[in-house]
Structure 1
Amino acid sequence: MICLFQARGPKKHLKRLNAPKAWMLDKLGGVYAPRPSTGPHKLRESLPLVIFLRNRLKYALTNCEVKKIVKQRLVKVDGKIRTDPNYPAGFMVGNQRLPIGACKRERECPSREPIERGVLFGTEYSGEIITDGSENMDYGAVQAVERVGVAACTSAEERYKGRLNSEAQHDVITIEKTAEYFRLIYDVKGRFTIHRISSEEAKYKLCKVKRVQTGPKGIPFLVTHDGRTIRYPDPVIRVNDTVQLDIATSKIMDSIKFESGNLCMITGGRNLGRVGTVVNRERHPGSFDIVHIKDSQGHTFATR
Protein backbone atom coordinates (compact mmCIF):
# COMPACT_ATOMS: atom_id res chain seq x y z
CA MET A 1 0.00 0.00 0.00
CA ILE A 2 1.41 3.36 -1.03
CA CYS A 3 0.29 6.56 0.69
CA LEU A 4 0.74 9.75 -1.28
CA PHE A 5 0.65 13.14 0.42
CA GLN A 6 0.15 16.20 -1.70
CA ALA A 7 2.08 19.32 -0.75
CA ARG A 8 -0.25 22.11 0.22
CA GLY A 9 2.00 25.15 -0.05
CA PRO A 10 1.39 28.63 1.33
CA LYS A 11 -2.06 30.16 1.54
CA LYS A 12 -2.65 32.73 -1.17
CA HIS A 13 -6.15 33.97 -0.43
CA LEU A 14 -8.13 35.43 2.45
CA LYS A 15 -11.89 35.32 2.88
CA ARG A 16 -13.48 38.66 3.66
CA LEU A 17 -15.25 37.38 6.77
CA ASN A 18 -11.91 36.17 8.12
CA ALA A 19 -10.12 39.48 7.55
CA PRO A 20 -9.02 41.43 10.64
CA LYS A 21 -11.70 43.68 12.10
CA ALA A 22 -9.15 46.51 12.29
CA TRP A 23 -9.35 46.81 8.50
CA MET A 24 -13.04 47.80 8.75
CA LEU A 25 -14.06 46.04 5.53
CA ASP A 26 -17.77 45.79 4.80
CA LYS A 27 -19.14 42.27 4.81
CA LEU A 28 -21.04 42.59 1.54
CA GLY A 29 -18.19 44.11 -0.44
CA GLY A 30 -17.16 40.79 -1.94
CA VAL A 31 -16.12 37.25 -1.09
CA TYR A 32 -12.37 37.77 -0.73
CA ALA A 33 -10.08 40.35 0.85
CA PRO A 34 -6.48 41.19 -0.10
CA ARG A 35 -4.06 38.91 1.73
CA PRO A 36 -0.92 40.72 2.96
CA SER A 37 2.37 39.51 1.55
CA THR A 38 5.09 38.17 3.81
CA GLY A 39 6.93 41.03 5.45
CA PRO A 40 7.95 42.64 8.73
CA HIS A 41 4.46 42.48 10.26
CA LYS A 42 1.98 39.77 11.08
CA LEU A 43 -1.23 39.48 9.11
CA ARG A 44 -3.43 40.49 12.04
CA GLU A 45 -1.22 43.48 12.90
CA SER A 46 -0.79 44.99 9.44
CA LEU A 47 -2.72 46.81 6.74
CA PRO A 48 -2.05 46.10 3.04
CA LEU A 49 -1.19 49.07 0.86
CA VAL A 50 -4.18 48.31 -1.37
CA ILE A 51 -6.58 48.93 1.52
CA PHE A 52 -4.61 51.98 2.61
CA LEU A 53 -4.78 53.63 -0.83
CA ARG A 54 -8.21 52.42 -1.93
CA ASN A 55 -10.35 52.24 1.20
CA ARG A 56 -8.76 54.88 3.44
CA LEU A 57 -7.23 57.58 1.23
CA LYS A 58 -9.70 57.01 -1.66
CA TYR A 59 -6.89 57.50 -4.19
CA ALA A 60 -8.14 54.52 -6.21
CA LEU A 61 -11.44 52.82 -6.89
CA THR A 62 -10.24 49.31 -7.73
CA ASN A 63 -7.32 47.00 -7.06
CA CYS A 64 -6.16 47.50 -10.65
CA GLU A 65 -5.81 51.24 -10.08
CA VAL A 66 -3.80 50.62 -6.92
CA LYS A 67 -1.39 48.43 -8.88
CA LYS A 68 -0.86 51.22 -11.40
CA ILE A 69 -0.05 53.63 -8.57
CA VAL A 70 2.49 51.44 -6.78
CA LYS A 71 4.11 50.28 -10.04
CA GLN A 72 4.99 53.91 -10.71
CA ARG A 73 7.18 53.73 -7.57
CA LEU A 74 5.27 56.51 -5.85
CA VAL A 75 4.76 54.89 -2.43
CA LYS A 76 7.47 54.43 0.20
CA VAL A 77 7.30 52.53 3.47
CA ASP A 78 10.03 53.43 5.97
CA GLY A 79 11.95 55.19 3.23
CA LYS A 80 11.94 52.25 0.79
CA ILE A 81 9.91 52.09 -2.41
CA ARG A 82 7.30 49.33 -2.31
CA THR A 83 5.71 48.13 -5.55
CA ASP A 84 3.69 45.28 -4.02
CA PRO A 85 0.05 46.37 -3.53
CA ASN A 86 -0.30 43.78 -0.75
CA TYR A 87 2.81 44.87 1.16
CA PRO A 88 1.99 44.85 4.91
CA ALA A 89 2.36 48.22 6.59
CA GLY A 90 1.22 48.46 10.14
CA PHE A 91 1.93 48.44 13.81
CA MET A 92 5.37 48.00 15.33
CA VAL A 93 4.85 44.39 16.41
CA GLY A 94 6.72 42.45 13.74
CA ASN A 95 8.07 39.04 12.99
CA GLN A 96 11.54 38.72 14.41
CA ARG A 97 14.29 37.82 11.96
CA LEU A 98 17.75 36.99 13.27
CA PRO A 99 21.00 37.61 11.42
CA ILE A 100 22.96 34.73 9.95
CA GLY A 101 24.57 32.66 12.68
CA ALA A 102 22.57 34.24 15.49
CA CYS A 103 20.32 31.21 16.04
CA LYS A 104 23.27 28.93 16.85
CA ARG A 105 24.80 31.47 19.18
CA GLU A 106 21.43 31.97 20.85
CA ARG A 107 21.40 28.30 21.84
CA GLU A 108 24.97 28.40 23.07
CA CYS A 109 24.79 31.70 24.95
CA PRO A 110 21.13 32.61 25.51
CA SER A 111 20.32 36.14 26.56
CA ARG A 112 20.14 36.61 30.30
CA GLU A 113 17.15 38.89 29.99
CA PRO A 114 13.96 37.07 28.95
CA ILE A 115 12.14 38.45 25.94
CA GLU A 116 8.63 39.37 27.02
CA ARG A 117 6.27 38.52 24.24
CA GLY A 118 4.09 41.38 23.11
CA VAL A 119 5.46 44.04 25.46
CA LEU A 120 6.51 47.13 23.53
CA PHE A 121 8.09 50.14 25.20
CA GLY A 122 9.49 53.46 24.18
CA THR A 123 6.86 55.67 22.56
CA GLU A 124 6.08 59.17 23.68
CA TYR A 125 2.62 60.68 23.42
CA SER A 126 2.24 64.44 23.03
CA GLY A 127 -1.18 65.97 23.44
CA GLU A 128 -4.42 64.76 24.94
CA ILE A 129 -4.58 61.16 26.09
CA ILE A 130 -6.97 59.11 23.98
CA THR A 131 -9.64 57.28 25.95
CA ASP A 132 -13.38 56.78 25.70
CA GLY A 133 -13.87 57.35 29.42
CA SER A 134 -16.45 54.59 29.76
CA GLU A 135 -16.97 52.89 33.08
CA ASN A 136 -16.47 49.42 31.67
CA MET A 137 -12.82 50.26 31.02
CA ASP A 138 -12.06 50.20 34.75
CA TYR A 139 -11.02 46.60 35.24
CA GLY A 140 -9.58 45.10 38.38
CA ALA A 141 -5.89 44.36 38.68
CA VAL A 142 -6.54 40.61 38.57
CA GLN A 143 -9.42 40.35 36.11
CA ALA A 144 -7.79 42.68 33.56
CA VAL A 145 -4.57 40.70 33.16
CA GLU A 146 -4.46 39.91 29.45
CA ARG A 147 -2.08 38.73 26.77
CA VAL A 148 -1.44 42.19 25.39
CA GLY A 149 1.53 44.43 24.81
CA VAL A 150 2.45 47.86 26.08
CA ALA A 151 4.18 50.66 24.23
CA ALA A 152 5.67 52.79 26.96
CA CYS A 153 6.69 56.38 26.52
CA THR A 154 9.19 58.64 28.15
CA SER A 155 8.30 60.51 31.31
CA ALA A 156 7.46 64.20 31.38
CA GLU A 157 11.04 65.32 31.87
CA GLU A 158 12.19 63.22 28.90
CA ARG A 159 9.83 64.57 26.24
CA TYR A 160 12.65 65.29 23.79
CA LYS A 161 11.17 68.78 23.35
CA GLY A 162 8.14 67.51 21.48
CA ARG A 163 10.04 65.46 18.90
CA LEU A 164 8.27 62.19 19.65
CA ASN A 165 4.61 61.27 19.70
CA SER A 166 2.46 58.22 20.21
CA GLU A 167 2.49 57.32 16.53
CA ALA A 168 6.27 57.13 16.22
CA GLN A 169 6.44 53.36 16.57
CA HIS A 170 4.37 52.75 13.46
CA ASP A 171 5.50 52.43 9.88
CA VAL A 172 5.99 55.67 7.96
CA ILE A 173 4.16 55.75 4.61
CA THR A 174 5.36 58.44 2.21
CA ILE A 175 3.80 59.67 -1.03
CA GLU A 176 6.36 62.14 -2.36
CA LYS A 177 4.34 63.19 -5.41
CA THR A 178 1.66 64.69 -3.15
CA ALA A 179 4.10 65.53 -0.31
CA GLU A 180 2.09 63.49 2.18
CA TYR A 181 3.35 61.48 5.14
CA PHE A 182 1.30 59.07 7.22
CA ARG A 183 1.54 56.75 10.19
CA LEU A 184 -0.88 53.92 10.91
CA ILE A 185 -2.21 54.05 14.46
CA TYR A 186 -4.90 52.33 16.52
CA ASP A 187 -7.90 54.15 17.95
CA VAL A 188 -9.42 53.23 21.32
CA LYS A 189 -11.57 50.58 19.64
CA GLY A 190 -8.59 48.78 18.12
CA ARG A 191 -9.13 49.93 14.54
CA PHE A 192 -6.51 51.21 12.13
CA THR A 193 -6.74 54.92 11.50
CA ILE A 194 -4.65 57.28 9.39
CA HIS A 195 -2.54 59.99 11.01
CA ARG A 196 -0.88 62.66 8.89
CA ILE A 197 2.56 63.81 10.01
CA SER A 198 5.11 66.38 8.89
CA SER A 199 8.18 65.68 6.83
CA GLU A 200 10.38 66.07 9.92
CA GLU A 201 8.47 63.41 11.86
CA ALA A 202 8.72 61.06 8.90
CA LYS A 203 12.51 60.92 9.22
CA TYR A 204 12.53 58.65 12.28
CA LYS A 205 10.70 55.78 13.91
CA LEU A 206 10.87 53.96 17.22
CA CYS A 207 11.92 50.33 17.39
CA LYS A 208 11.60 47.99 20.31
CA VAL A 209 14.74 46.08 21.27
CA LYS A 210 14.08 42.34 21.10
CA ARG A 211 17.61 40.99 21.63
CA VAL A 212 20.96 42.25 22.86
CA GLN A 213 23.79 39.82 22.12
CA THR A 214 27.46 39.47 21.28
CA GLY A 215 28.20 38.17 17.80
CA PRO A 216 31.30 36.68 16.19
CA LYS A 217 34.62 38.32 17.08
CA GLY A 218 33.02 39.86 20.15
CA ILE A 219 30.94 42.40 18.21
CA PRO A 220 27.86 43.46 20.23
CA PHE A 221 24.60 43.93 18.36
CA LEU A 222 20.90 44.30 18.99
CA VAL A 223 17.86 43.14 17.03
CA THR A 224 14.74 45.30 16.81
CA HIS A 225 11.12 44.26 16.43
CA ASP A 226 11.16 44.77 12.65
CA GLY A 227 14.22 42.60 12.05
CA ARG A 228 16.88 45.32 11.98
CA THR A 229 20.34 44.35 13.24
CA ILE A 230 22.35 47.24 14.67
CA ARG A 231 25.99 46.70 15.62
CA TYR A 232 27.87 48.48 18.40
CA PRO A 233 24.84 49.88 20.26
CA ASP A 234 25.05 51.89 23.47
CA PRO A 235 25.87 49.50 26.36
CA VAL A 236 23.04 50.95 28.47
CA ILE A 237 20.41 49.67 26.00
CA ARG A 238 18.67 46.54 27.26
CA VAL A 239 15.94 44.19 26.07
CA ASN A 240 12.48 45.85 25.98
CA ASP A 241 13.98 49.33 25.69
CA THR A 242 13.16 51.43 22.65
CA VAL A 243 15.55 53.18 20.30
CA GLN A 244 14.83 56.20 18.12
CA LEU A 245 16.07 55.20 14.69
CA ASP A 246 16.94 57.44 11.78
CA ILE A 247 15.21 55.87 8.77
CA ALA A 248 17.70 57.13 6.18
CA THR A 249 20.89 55.98 7.93
CA SER A 250 19.48 53.24 10.24
CA LYS A 251 21.49 54.75 13.09
CA ILE A 252 20.33 55.08 16.69
CA MET A 253 19.55 58.70 17.56
CA ASP A 254 18.35 58.14 21.12
CA SER A 255 17.06 55.45 23.47
CA ILE A 256 14.18 55.20 25.92
CA LYS A 257 14.28 52.99 29.00
CA PHE A 258 11.61 50.54 30.10
CA GLU A 259 10.65 52.15 33.42
CA SER A 260 7.65 53.03 35.55
CA GLY A 261 6.18 56.52 35.35
CA ASN A 262 6.23 56.57 31.54
CA LEU A 263 3.30 57.07 29.23
CA CYS A 264 2.19 53.98 27.32
CA MET A 265 -0.18 52.67 24.68
CA ILE A 266 -1.77 49.22 24.73
CA THR A 267 -0.89 47.31 21.57
CA GLY A 268 -3.10 44.24 21.76
CA GLY A 269 -5.96 42.51 23.50
CA ARG A 270 -9.14 43.94 25.00
CA ASN A 271 -7.59 47.31 25.85
CA LEU A 272 -6.01 47.83 22.43
CA GLY A 273 -5.42 51.53 21.73
CA ARG A 274 -5.75 52.79 25.31
CA VAL A 275 -3.16 55.26 26.56
CA GLY A 276 -2.02 55.66 30.15
CA THR A 277 0.86 55.92 32.59
CA VAL A 278 2.82 52.92 33.82
CA VAL A 279 2.25 52.72 37.58
CA ASN A 280 4.02 49.51 38.53
CA ARG A 281 5.71 46.51 36.98
CA GLU A 282 5.36 43.19 38.76
CA ARG A 283 8.16 40.79 37.97
CA HIS A 284 7.35 37.08 37.80
CA PRO A 285 10.45 35.00 36.99
CA GLY A 286 9.64 32.21 34.57
CA SER A 287 6.39 33.84 33.52
CA PHE A 288 5.05 37.10 32.11
CA ASP A 289 5.53 40.35 33.97
CA ILE A 290 2.38 42.24 34.93
CA VAL A 291 2.26 45.97 34.17
CA HIS A 292 -0.27 48.20 35.97
CA ILE A 293 -1.43 51.23 34.00
CA LYS A 294 -3.50 54.29 34.92
CA ASP A 295 -5.29 56.30 32.24
CA SER A 296 -6.29 59.97 32.23
CA GLN A 297 -9.70 59.18 33.76
CA GLY A 298 -8.07 57.58 36.79
CA HIS A 299 -8.99 54.04 35.75
CA THR A 300 -6.36 51.45 36.62
CA PHE A 301 -5.93 48.19 34.74
CA ALA A 302 -3.25 45.55 34.38
CA THR A 303 -1.73 43.90 31.35
CA ARG A 304 1.32 41.91 30.34
Structure 2
Amino acid sequence: MHLKRLNTPKRWNVEKKSTTFITRQSPGPHPRELSVPLTVLLRNHLGLVETNKEVKRIIHDKLVLVDNNLVKNPKLPVGLFDIISLPSHSLYYRIVLDYKGGIKPLKITQKESEIKLFSILKKTRIKGGKIQLNCTSGRNILLPKNDYSTGDTLIIDLKNKKIINHLKSREGALVLVMKGKHAGEAAIIKGFKNFLSVSKDRAILESEKGKVYETMKEYVFIIGENKNEIRIREEDIKFGKKAEKKEAKPAKKAKKPAVKGGKK
Protein backbone atom coordinates (compact mmCIF):
# COMPACT_ATOMS: atom_id res chain seq x y z
CA MET A 1 0.00 0.00 0.00
CA HIS A 2 1.28 3.47 -0.86
CA LEU A 3 0.86 6.98 0.46
CA LYS A 4 0.29 10.17 -1.51
CA ARG A 5 3.44 12.30 -1.44
CA LEU A 6 1.42 15.41 -0.60
CA ASN A 7 0.31 13.70 2.63
CA THR A 8 3.76 12.64 3.80
CA PRO A 9 4.88 13.99 7.20
CA LYS A 10 7.10 17.06 6.98
CA ARG A 11 9.78 15.19 8.92
CA TRP A 12 10.30 12.78 6.01
CA ASN A 13 12.20 15.46 4.06
CA VAL A 14 11.11 14.21 0.63
CA GLU A 15 9.98 16.09 -2.46
CA LYS A 16 6.20 16.47 -2.47
CA LYS A 17 5.53 16.77 -6.20
CA SER A 18 7.97 14.50 -8.05
CA THR A 19 5.53 11.56 -8.22
CA THR A 20 2.01 10.94 -6.93
CA PHE A 21 2.71 8.11 -4.51
CA ILE A 22 5.46 7.03 -2.14
CA THR A 23 6.00 3.90 -0.06
CA ARG A 24 4.09 3.78 3.23
CA GLN A 25 5.84 2.18 6.20
CA SER A 26 4.42 -0.94 7.79
CA PRO A 27 3.60 -1.09 11.53
CA GLY A 28 6.78 -1.33 13.55
CA PRO A 29 8.89 -0.06 16.44
CA HIS A 30 8.59 3.64 15.56
CA PRO A 31 5.55 5.93 15.15
CA ARG A 32 4.85 7.22 11.64
CA GLU A 33 5.75 10.83 12.43
CA LEU A 34 9.17 9.83 13.80
CA SER A 35 10.21 7.34 11.13
CA VAL A 36 10.52 6.70 7.40
CA PRO A 37 10.17 3.44 5.47
CA LEU A 38 13.50 1.73 4.78
CA THR A 39 12.75 1.98 1.05
CA VAL A 40 12.44 5.78 1.25
CA LEU A 41 15.66 6.03 3.24
CA LEU A 42 17.72 3.93 0.82
CA ARG A 43 16.24 5.43 -2.35
CA ASN A 44 15.29 9.05 -1.58
CA HIS A 45 17.66 10.01 1.24
CA LEU A 46 20.81 8.02 0.49
CA GLY A 47 20.41 7.47 -3.27
CA LEU A 48 21.84 3.96 -2.96
CA VAL A 49 19.14 2.53 -5.22
CA GLU A 50 16.78 3.92 -7.83
CA THR A 51 13.70 1.70 -7.67
CA ASN A 52 11.66 -0.37 -5.22
CA LYS A 53 12.75 -3.46 -7.11
CA GLU A 54 16.39 -2.70 -6.37
CA VAL A 55 15.56 -2.21 -2.68
CA LYS A 56 13.97 -5.66 -2.58
CA ARG A 57 16.97 -7.16 -4.36
CA ILE A 58 19.60 -5.88 -1.92
CA ILE A 59 17.41 -6.93 1.02
CA HIS A 60 17.00 -10.39 -0.52
CA ASP A 61 20.79 -10.57 -0.91
CA LYS A 62 21.15 -9.83 2.83
CA LEU A 63 23.08 -6.60 2.30
CA VAL A 64 21.10 -4.39 4.69
CA LEU A 65 21.10 -4.49 8.50
CA VAL A 66 19.17 -2.37 10.98
CA ASP A 67 20.58 -2.38 14.52
CA ASN A 68 22.83 -5.29 13.51
CA ASN A 69 19.83 -7.40 12.44
CA LEU A 70 19.15 -8.56 8.89
CA VAL A 71 16.16 -6.85 7.33
CA LYS A 72 13.42 -8.73 5.47
CA ASN A 73 10.80 -6.00 5.15
CA PRO A 74 11.53 -3.08 2.76
CA LYS A 75 8.72 -1.08 4.41
CA LEU A 76 10.25 -1.39 7.88
CA PRO A 77 10.01 1.98 9.70
CA VAL A 78 13.45 3.28 10.68
CA GLY A 79 13.58 6.03 13.26
CA LEU A 80 15.68 8.07 15.67
CA PHE A 81 19.14 6.62 16.41
CA ASP A 82 18.56 3.43 14.39
CA ILE A 83 21.79 2.11 12.85
CA ILE A 84 21.60 1.28 9.14
CA SER A 85 24.51 -0.84 7.90
CA LEU A 86 25.64 -2.20 4.56
CA PRO A 87 28.83 -4.00 5.71
CA SER A 88 29.70 -5.39 2.26
CA HIS A 89 30.03 -1.79 1.03
CA SER A 90 31.46 -0.35 4.29
CA LEU A 91 28.49 2.00 4.66
CA TYR A 92 27.10 2.89 8.09
CA TYR A 93 24.48 5.47 9.04
CA ARG A 94 22.71 6.70 12.17
CA ILE A 95 19.22 8.20 11.92
CA VAL A 96 19.23 11.69 13.47
CA LEU A 97 17.19 14.90 13.25
CA ASP A 98 18.20 18.00 11.32
CA TYR A 99 17.83 21.56 12.68
CA LYS A 100 14.14 21.59 11.74
CA GLY A 101 13.35 18.21 13.26
CA GLY A 102 13.39 16.36 9.94
CA ILE A 103 14.68 12.79 9.69
CA LYS A 104 18.20 12.58 8.34
CA PRO A 105 20.80 9.80 7.92
CA LEU A 106 24.22 10.69 9.33
CA LYS A 107 27.20 8.79 7.96
CA ILE A 108 29.24 7.19 10.75
CA THR A 109 32.15 4.79 11.17
CA GLN A 110 31.91 1.05 11.74
CA LYS A 111 32.99 1.55 15.36
CA GLU A 112 30.24 4.15 15.91
CA SER A 113 27.70 1.71 14.49
CA GLU A 114 28.38 -0.80 17.28
CA ILE A 115 26.38 1.11 19.92
CA LYS A 116 22.91 2.60 20.12
CA LEU A 117 21.04 4.77 22.62
CA PHE A 118 17.68 3.66 24.01
CA SER A 119 15.45 5.86 26.16
CA ILE A 120 13.39 4.17 28.90
CA LEU A 121 9.70 4.89 28.28
CA LYS A 122 8.12 2.71 30.95
CA LYS A 123 8.95 0.21 33.69
CA THR A 124 6.87 -2.77 34.80
CA ARG A 125 7.40 -5.50 37.40
CA ILE A 126 6.66 -8.94 36.00
CA LYS A 127 6.35 -12.47 37.36
CA GLY A 128 9.36 -13.51 39.41
CA GLY A 129 10.06 -10.00 40.61
CA LYS A 130 12.04 -8.98 37.52
CA ILE A 131 11.86 -5.48 36.07
CA GLN A 132 10.95 -5.01 32.42
CA LEU A 133 12.15 -1.83 30.76
CA ASN A 134 10.10 -0.70 27.76
CA CYS A 135 12.43 1.38 25.62
CA THR A 136 12.42 3.29 22.36
CA SER A 137 12.70 1.31 19.10
CA GLY A 138 10.30 -1.24 20.61
CA ARG A 139 13.01 -2.90 22.70
CA ASN A 140 12.14 -4.57 26.01
CA ILE A 141 14.85 -5.42 28.53
CA LEU A 142 14.50 -7.75 31.54
CA LEU A 143 16.62 -6.99 34.60
CA PRO A 144 16.82 -8.53 38.09
CA LYS A 145 17.11 -5.14 39.82
CA ASN A 146 15.33 -1.81 39.59
CA ASP A 147 18.43 0.27 38.86
CA TYR A 148 17.07 2.63 36.21
CA SER A 149 14.40 5.33 35.99
CA THR A 150 11.92 6.33 33.31
CA GLY A 151 13.50 8.96 31.06
CA ASP A 152 17.03 7.61 31.54
CA THR A 153 19.06 6.48 28.53
CA LEU A 154 20.82 3.14 28.13
CA ILE A 155 23.82 2.73 25.82
CA ILE A 156 23.72 -0.78 24.40
CA ASP A 157 26.33 -2.79 22.52
CA LEU A 158 24.31 -4.03 19.53
CA LYS A 159 26.56 -7.02 18.84
CA ASN A 160 26.59 -8.42 22.39
CA LYS A 161 23.20 -6.94 23.33
CA LYS A 162 24.56 -5.71 26.65
CA ILE A 163 24.14 -2.43 28.54
CA ILE A 164 27.53 -0.71 28.61
CA ASN A 165 26.54 2.67 30.09
CA HIS A 166 23.68 4.52 31.74
CA LEU A 167 22.77 8.21 31.37
CA LYS A 168 20.50 9.66 34.07
CA SER A 169 17.71 12.12 33.39
CA ARG A 170 18.86 14.93 35.65
CA GLU A 171 19.91 18.55 35.74
CA GLY A 172 22.97 19.20 33.61
CA ALA A 173 22.35 16.32 31.19
CA LEU A 174 22.70 16.93 27.47
CA VAL A 175 19.57 16.17 25.45
CA LEU A 176 18.16 16.11 21.93
CA VAL A 177 14.64 17.51 21.59
CA MET A 178 12.55 15.03 19.57
CA LYS A 179 9.21 16.83 19.20
CA GLY A 180 7.66 20.29 19.34
CA LYS A 181 8.86 23.55 17.81
CA HIS A 182 12.39 22.94 19.14
CA ALA A 183 12.69 19.47 17.56
CA GLY A 184 16.22 18.75 16.34
CA GLU A 185 17.89 21.08 18.86
CA ALA A 186 20.52 20.04 21.38
CA ALA A 187 20.10 21.48 24.87
CA ILE A 188 21.11 21.18 28.52
CA ILE A 189 18.59 20.37 31.24
CA LYS A 190 18.37 23.24 33.73
CA GLY A 191 15.55 21.75 35.80
CA PHE A 192 12.14 20.09 35.83
CA LYS A 193 8.56 21.05 36.59
CA ASN A 194 6.66 18.05 37.95
CA PHE A 195 2.89 18.08 38.28
CA LEU A 196 0.58 15.89 40.35
CA SER A 197 -2.43 16.80 38.20
CA VAL A 198 -3.24 15.70 34.64
CA SER A 199 -0.66 18.18 33.32
CA LYS A 200 2.43 16.51 31.94
CA ASP A 201 5.85 17.09 33.49
CA ARG A 202 8.02 19.66 31.76
CA ALA A 203 11.76 20.08 31.31
CA ILE A 204 13.51 23.46 31.50
CA LEU A 205 16.20 23.58 28.82
CA GLU A 206 19.01 25.87 27.71
CA SER A 207 19.78 25.88 24.01
CA GLU A 208 23.20 26.12 22.36
CA LYS A 209 22.58 29.87 21.94
CA GLY A 210 21.83 30.26 25.65
CA LYS A 211 18.06 30.61 25.29
CA VAL A 212 16.08 29.07 28.17
CA TYR A 213 12.71 27.50 27.38
CA GLU A 214 10.33 24.76 28.51
CA THR A 215 9.14 21.67 26.69
CA MET A 216 7.41 18.42 27.55
CA LYS A 217 9.70 16.12 29.52
CA GLU A 218 8.73 13.23 27.23
CA TYR A 219 10.03 15.21 24.24
CA VAL A 220 13.68 15.04 25.34
CA PHE A 221 16.17 12.22 24.79
CA ILE A 222 19.27 12.11 27.02
CA ILE A 223 22.38 11.85 24.80
CA GLY A 224 25.15 12.59 27.29
CA GLU A 225 26.20 13.93 30.67
CA ASN A 226 29.32 16.09 30.32
CA LYS A 227 29.44 15.50 26.56
CA ASN A 228 27.32 13.81 23.91
CA GLU A 229 27.96 10.06 23.77
CA ILE A 230 27.17 9.86 20.06
CA ARG A 231 27.37 12.24 17.12
CA ILE A 232 24.02 13.69 16.12
CA ARG A 233 25.36 15.98 13.36
CA GLU A 234 28.51 16.50 11.31
CA GLU A 235 29.76 19.41 13.44
CA ASP A 236 30.34 19.42 17.20
CA ILE A 237 27.69 20.53 19.68
CA LYS A 238 28.82 23.84 21.20
CA PHE A 239 27.09 25.86 23.88
CA GLY A 240 27.49 29.57 24.45
CA LYS A 241 28.21 30.24 20.79
CA LYS A 242 25.81 31.21 18.07
CA ALA A 243 24.65 28.04 16.37
CA GLU A 244 24.35 28.29 12.62
CA LYS A 245 20.98 27.06 11.42
CA LYS A 246 20.99 25.26 8.11
CA GLU A 247 17.95 25.00 5.92
CA ALA A 248 16.67 21.44 5.64
CA LYS A 249 16.27 20.55 1.97
CA PRO A 250 14.17 17.64 0.68
CA ALA A 251 16.24 14.63 -0.30
CA LYS A 252 16.73 14.30 -4.05
CA LYS A 253 16.90 11.04 -5.91
CA ALA A 254 20.44 10.22 -6.98
CA LYS A 255 21.14 9.82 -10.68
CA LYS A 256 23.24 6.67 -10.22
CA PRO A 257 22.73 3.97 -7.60
CA ALA A 258 25.71 3.08 -5.40
CA VAL A 259 24.54 -0.36 -4.29
CA LYS A 260 23.28 -3.27 -6.33
CA GLY A 261 22.22 -6.77 -5.42
CA GLY A 262 24.44 -9.76 -6.02
CA LYS A 263 28.18 -9.72 -5.62
CA LYS A 264 29.97 -6.49 -4.86
Q: TM-score normalised to the size of structure 2?
A: 0.77
The count of corresponding residues between Structure 1 and Structure 2 is 215
1:290 aligns with 2:208: no
1:236 aligns with 2:225: no
**Distance between the aligned counterparts of 2:196 and 2:164, measured in 1?**
32
Residue in 2 that maps onto 1:180 = 91
**Distance between the aligned counterparts of 1:74 and 1:226, measured in 2?**
21
Deviations 1:25-67 (A, max 9, x none): 2222111111001110111111111111111221212222222
Unaligned runs of 5+ in 2: 217-264
State the AA in 2 paired with 1:171. Answer: D
Residue in 2 that maps onto 1:50 = 39
**Distance between the aligned counterparts of 1:264 and 1:36, measured in 2?**
27
Sort the Cα spacing of 1:264 and 1:214 in 2 relative to 1 into closer, same or farther, 3 A: same
State the AA in 2 paired with 1:284. Answer: F
Shift of the alpha carbon at 1:204? 1.3
**Distance between the aligned counterparts of 1:291 and 1:88, measured in 2?**
28
Which of 84, 93, 103 does residue 192 from structure 1 map onto?
103
Contact 1:282 1:289 in 2 (8 A): yes
State the AA in 2 paired with 1:68. Answer: R
Residue in 2 that maps onto 1:78 = 67
**Distance between the aligned counterparts of 1:17 and 1:90, measured in 2?**
21
Which of 159, 162, 168 does residue 257 from structure 1 map onto?
168
SS in 2 for 1:52: helix
Shift of the alpha carbon at 1:273? 0.4
**Distance between the aligned counterparts of 1:212 and 1:22, measured in 2?**
29
Sort the Cα spacing of 1:227 and 1:61 in 2 relative to 1 into closer, same or farther, 3 A: closer
Contact 2:2 2:24 in 1 (8 A): yes
Deviations 1:210-245 (A, max 9, x none): 222321122233221223222225533111111111
1:90 aligns with 2:1: no
State the AA in 1 paired with 2:63. Answer: L
State the AA in 1 paired with 2:184. Answer: G
Contact 2:129 2:144 in 1 (8 A): no
Deviations 1:72-118 (A, max 9, x none): 11000001111222111112xxxxxxxxxxxxxxxxxxxxxxxxxxx
Identical amino acids, percent of aligned pairs: 31
Contact 2:30 2:138 in 1 (8 A): no
Sort the Cα spacing of 1:24 and 1:230 in 2 relative to 1 into closer, same or farther, 3 A: closer
State the AA in 2 paired with 1:241. Answer: D
Contact 1:222 1:233 in 2 (8 A): no
Shift of the alpha carbon at 1:19? 0.6
**Distance between the aligned counterparts of 2:201 and 2:57, measured in 1?**
47
Residue in 2 that maps onto 1:34 = 23
SS in 2 for 1:177: helix
**What root-mean-square deviation, in Å, do the aligned CA atoms of Structure 1 and Structure 2 show?**
1.5
**Distance between the aligned counterparts of 2:194 and 2:202, measured in 1?**
7
Contact 1:209 1:242 in 2 (8 A): yes
Question: Which range is displaced more, 276-285 or 246-255?
Answer: 246-255
State the AA in 1 paired with 2:146. Answer: P
Which structure: larger Rg?
A: 1
Unaligned runs of 5+ in 1: 1-11, 92-169
